[in-house]
Chains A and B, each alone.
Chain A
Amino acid sequence: MSAPTFDRITGRSVWPDLEPLLPSVKKPIQYVGGELNSTVKDWDACDVRWALMYPDAYEVGLPNQGVMILYEVLNEREGVLAERTYSVWPDMEAKLREHGVPQFTVDGHRPVGDFDLFGLSFSTELGYTNMLTALDLAGIPLEAADRDMTHPVVIAGGHAAFNPEPIADFIDAAVIGDGEQAVLAITDIVRAWKGEGRPGGRDGLLLRLAATGGVYVPRFYDVEYLADGRIQRVAPNRSGVPWQVAKHTVMDLDEWPYPKKPLVPLAETVHERMSVEIFRGCTRGCRFCQAGMITRPVRERSITGIGDMVKAGLEATGYEEVGLLSLSSADHSEIADLAKGLADRYEGTQTSLSLPSTRVDAFNIDLANELSRNGRRSGLTFAPEGGSERIRKVINKMVSEEDLIRTVTAAYSAGWRQVKLYFMCGLPTETDEDVLQIAEMARNVIKAGREATGSRDIRCTVSIGGFVPKPHTPFQWCGQLGAAETDERLRKLRDVIRADKNYARAIGFRYHDGKPGIVEGLLSRGDRRVGKVIRAVWEDGGRFDGWSEFFSYDRWMAAAERALADEPVDVAWYTTRERDQIETLPWDHLDSGLDRDWLWEDWQDALRETEVDDCRWTPCFDCGVCPQMGTEIQIGPTGRKLLPLSVV
C-alpha cells in the first residue's frame, strides 16, 4: 500500500466544475442543494464527516425520512458534519465522467470520496446498482477489499440491510435497525480512532466497530458452502468479532423528535408534504410484511409529542399537508383524539392531514371526516392483500370481507366515491381461485356503494403486484411464484373483472408484471454469490432498477447466467425454491430479535391457515424480540389532549 495520504486537502467544493455542466442536464435544480433547513458546516471545524446517500434520484431520495433524520441528528452534534448525495441521472453521469467531476454532495458540493464515512440507506434492493455507480463516480474502489486509508468507510443501512449479503463485497459494514443512536455511536468510535492516530488502519477501525456487536463487517465473516449450493455455515474469521450482529432499537420516540426541521426542496419530489412518524413498529403480524417483523416492538410517539412535531414542522417548512406516518397509522392508541385535536388546531388554515397507511378494521368514518375537515379529501386506500378469506388467514391479514364492505359502505355514504384496494399475487399456497375472488370482492364493493348512495357513479380500483418473500419473515422459507405464473394469474383476474359488463367499467385494474419481482426476490434472499450478478448487471449498464424505463429483466437474467455459471445455483434456486427448516439462511447471523423457531412455527401456522393475534392487545406470543433486544411495547393512551395553539 502506498503511504497514507489522508492528510491531503479534502472537502474542496467541486461547484466550479459542476456549474458549467448544469445547463445541459435535465432538472438541474436537483444538483444545486440549498434546500430550506439544509446545513453546510465548516469542513475544517469537524473531525467526523459523513456523506449520506439515498441511492435513487433526488426526487425520490430527498423526502426519505431516514436520511433526513440522520442528517439532522449528525449535524446537531458539535464537530460532526453530514452532507447528502443522491443518484445522478444517466445524462449527468455521462457529463461527470466526461469532465472528470466526482460524485458530489448537494450541500457543500464536496467529493463523496473525501468523507470519513459514506452511509447508504436502502429501502429497497433495487438501489444496489445505483450504489455501484456512486462508488465508481466517487473514485472509491467497488470492492471493499481494494480500499485503503484514503477511502471512506462504506456503511449500508435501511430495511434491505437486514440481508446485506448480496452487497457484502461492496460495503465495509452494515447496520440494522434504527439509525439515530447507531450513527452517533459509530461517530464516537471513528472520532476516538482518528484521535489516537488511526491505530490498525482501516481494519483497526472496522474491528472496533464490529466488536460492539451492532455493526456487521462482512469481511470478518467467512461463508462456507455445501456441494449442493446451500450455505454450510457463516463464521467470524478473527477474534473479537461476534457470531451474531444485533439490530438497533430506539426506545422512547418522544426523545427523538426528528426531523425537527424537515428539508424543503425547491425541486418537485414524490412527497409534497411533511411527515411525522406517529409510531414505529407493528405487531399486527402480517406474515408477508418484512417491515412489521423487523421493526418490533411497537413504540408510539405520544399525542402531545406528535402535536409538537406537527407545529414545529409546519412553522419550519410551510407545507400544507401533514402525513401521519407509520406502518398502520389508525392503530395509534389515541388516533381519534389526535386527528380531532389536529383538525381543531388547524381549522381554517388550509392545512390538511393524511393517514398514509390505514387498516380496514381500524378505520372509521369519524376519523376520515376529521382528516378531511380542513382541506382536501385525500384517497381512501385499503389493503386487503388477499382475495379470499382462506388466503388472508395464510398471510395473517385478519380483515374480513364484512369489515371491508361495512367500511366502504360508510365511506360511500359519507361522500367518497372511489376506493382503492391493494392486493398481492403469488402468496404461499395461493391458487387461481384465491386471486379470482378479488374480482368478486371488487364487485361487492361496487354493489355496496351503489346501494348506499343510490348512484351508479361509484368506482373501485384494484391494484395488484407480485409477492416477494423477504428475510426475517415467516415466509422467508417459501418458494416465490415464477414470473410467468404470476402474469398468467393476473391475466385471468383481469379477464374475469372485464367479463362482467355490469361492473367492469366501475372497476379499475392496475397490476405490475412478475419480472421485476423475480429480480427483487433474487436480491432479497440472495447470498454473497449474488454480488457477482449485481456487478455484472452494473457493468452492463444497469442503473435505476426501480424505474420501469431503466429496468431490464433480460439484462439481469443474462448477467446471472454468466456470473453464476460456475456455481451450483441459479436465479430459480434463489427465488422459486422452497427452503427447509435446517437450511442455513444467508441472514441467520443478523439478529432482528425474532426467534427462528417462532418464525418457523408461524410459517407452519400459515400453512395450516391459523391466525395469530396482535400482542399489543393480547398476551405475548413469544416472537422473541423484546427479551432478545431488551425492549418493550410502548403504547398509550396517555390520556392527554392537544390544546388549542395560543394566538400569536
Chain B
Amino acid sequence: MSPLPAKTPDGPPPPPVVQRVRVCYAKRGRLRFTSHRDIQRAFERALRRAAVPMAYSAGFTPHPKISWAGAAPTGTASEAEYVELGLSERVEPERLRGSLDEALPPDLDILAVDESEGGSLADYLEASVWRIELPEVDPAHARAAAAAFLAAEQVDVQRLTKNGMRTFDARAAVAELVALDDLPSVCAILRVVVRHTTPAVRPDDVLTGLGAVADLVPPVPPRVTRLAQGPLTLLLSADPEVVPTAPERGASPASGPTAVDSGVEVPQPGK
C-alpha cells in the first residue's frame, strides 16, 4: 500500500548523525549458523531493546543508519566482525558495548565499541585471518597441501553463486597460509590470511583449492573461525610459524584489528 506520490513525508526531517561508532563483535558456538541477514535483524532488534539512540534515514520507510562490513559466511564463527552505527545522540562507547551485548543473544557478543575517526570501514578492513580446523586430517598432509598451494601461481576453484557456477582464482588473495605445528595427529589446523578481493575468496574456497592441488578433502566438516580483520600489514605474522600477538587495542582507537588467541589447543569433540 503506498500513499500518493510526495517527495518527502510530513513532519520535520529526522535528527542528524552526531556520532559514529565502530562495533566489533563475535559470532560463536551455535550462532555461527546464523546468516548475515539473520544477524542484521538480530542487531536491529537489539538496538531497539537497548534503546540505542539510532539516527534514521529520511523518507517514508526510515531505516536505522547501520553500515555492515563483509560478513563471515553462514556456518563459520568469527571473533572479528565489524559494523558501524550512526547515532542521533552521543553515547559513551563502553556503556553502549555493555547494553548492546546484554540485548543480543548469547554467542553474539560485543567485543569492542570505539568512536569512529572517519574513513570507510570497508577500506580499513583489507584482509582477514582465518583459522581452519580440520578434524581427522593428518597435520603432515595439511602442511604439504599448504606448501603446494603456496607454490602454485594460480589455483582455480568453482563455487555456486547466485549467478550460477563461477570459476575464479583462490591463490592470489591468499597472503599467508600456515599449517600449525606440534599438534596431535587427530586434527590439522590452518591459519590463513586472505585479502578482501572481488570476487571474495572465502575460507571454503581456500579449502577447495587445497583439495585441487593436494587432494586434501576433509572427512568431516571443518570448523572455521575468523580471528581478525584489518589492514594487511597488521595481520601478517613476522614469523609465519608463530601466532602473531594482538596489536594493543589502545594503539589504534579507531577499531584496531581484533586478534584473539588463535591458539593451538586441541578442539574439544562435540564442543
Other-chain contact of B31, A24, A34, A317 (Cβ < 8 Å):
A34
> Is A614 at the interface (CB under 8 A from chain B)?
no
Contacts of A57 in B (CB 8 A): none
Proximity bits, A1-45, B CB within 8 Å = 1, else 0: 000000000000001100110111001110111111000000000
Give bound CA distance, A106 to B271, whole Å: 17
Q: Are B270 and A15 in contact (CB under 8 A)?
A: yes
Other-chain contact of B49, A28, A315, A455 (Cβ < 8 Å):
A315
Give bound CA distance, A417 to B62, whole Å: 20
> Is A186 at the interface (CB under 8 A from chain B)?
no
Q: Are A415 and B4 in contact (CB under 8 A)?
A: yes
Q: Are A417 and B1 in contact (CB under 8 A)?
A: yes
Contacts of B220 in A (CB 8 A): 20
Give bound CA distance, A415 to B1, whole Å: 9
Q: How far is the CB of A265 from chain B (nearest CB, A)?
A: 8
- Most chain B beta-carbon contacts within 10 A, residue among A27, A29, A32: A29
| Chain A: interface size category | 35 or more
Q: Are A16 and B269 in contact (CB under 8 A)?
A: yes
Q: Are A320 and B31 in contact (CB under 8 A)?
A: no
Q: How far is the CB of B204 from chain A (nearest CB, A)?
A: 9
Other-chain contact of B1, A34, A267, A350, A416 (Cβ < 8 Å):
A416
Q: Are A34 and B107 in contact (CB under 8 A)?
A: yes
Contacts of A363 in B (CB 8 A): none
Name the segment of A283-291, A372-380, A486-494 touching the other chain. Answer: A372-380
Q: Are B33 and A268 in contact (CB under 8 A)?
A: no
Q: Are A268 and B3 in contact (CB under 8 A)?
A: no
Q: Are B103 and A29 in contact (CB under 8 A)?
A: no
Q: Are B38 and A267 in contact (CB under 8 A)?
A: yes
Q: Are B56 and A350 in contact (CB under 8 A)?
A: yes
> Is A103 at the interface (CB under 8 A from chain B)?
no
Give bound CA distance, A319 to B48, whole Å: 8
Proximity bits, B18-56, A CB within 8 Å = 1, else 0: 000000000000110111011101101111110000001
Q: Are B270 and A319 in contact (CB under 8 A)?
A: no
> Is A388 at the interface (CB under 8 A from chain B)?
no
Q: Are A36 and B4 in contact (CB under 8 A)?
A: no
Q: How far is the CB of A410 from chain B (nearest CB, A)?
A: 14
In the complex, the chain A residue whose C-beta lies closest to that of B33 is A28
Contacts of A266 in B (CB 8 A): 31, 34, 38-39, 41-42, 105
Contacts of B68 in A (CB 8 A): none
> Is A451 at the interface (CB under 8 A from chain B)?
no
Given A317-B45, A317-B49, A23 contacting B75 (CB threshold 8 A): yes
> Is A318 at the interface (CB under 8 A from chain B)?
yes
Tell me the B219-270 residues at the A interface (CB within 8 Å).
Answer: 220-221, 269-270
> Is A453 at the interface (CB under 8 A from chain B)?
yes
Contacts of B62 in A (CB 8 A): 350
> Is B13 at the interface (CB under 8 A from chain A)?
no
> Is B120 at the interface (CB under 8 A from chain A)?
no
Other-chain contact of B35, A29, A264, A350, A378 (Cβ < 8 Å):
A29
Contacts of A320 in B (CB 8 A): 44-45, 48
> Is B106 at the interface (CB under 8 A from chain A)?
yes
Q: Are A318 and B45 in contact (CB under 8 A)?
A: yes
Tell me the A268-323 residues at the B interface (CB within 8 Å).
Answer: 268, 272, 314-320
Contacts of A407 in B (CB 8 A): none
Q: Are A264 and B221 in contact (CB under 8 A)?
A: no
Q: Are B75 and A28 in contact (CB under 8 A)?
A: yes
In the complex, the chain B residue whose C-beta lies closest to that of A269 is B41
Give bound CA distance, A318 to B269, whole Å: 36
Q: Are A318 and B47 in contact (CB under 8 A)?
A: yes
Question: What are some 6 contacts across the A-B interface (CB < 8 A)?
Answer: A36-B105, A266-B39, A318-B46, A320-B44, A376-B61, A416-B2
Q: Taking beta carbons and an 8 Å cutoff, which residues of B are in contact with A?
A: 1-4, 30-31, 33-35, 37-39, 41-42, 44-49, 56, 60-62, 74-75, 103, 105-107, 220-221, 269-270
Known A-B contacts: A27-B35, A315-B49. Give 13 more (CB < 8 A).
A15-B270, A22-B33, A34-B106, A34-B107, A36-B105, A314-B48, A317-B49, A318-B46, A379-B1, A416-B3, A417-B1, A417-B3, A418-B1
User: What are the 5 A-B residue pairs with the smallest beta carbon separation, nearest first?
Assistant: A318-B45, A16-B270, A318-B49, A318-B48, A28-B33
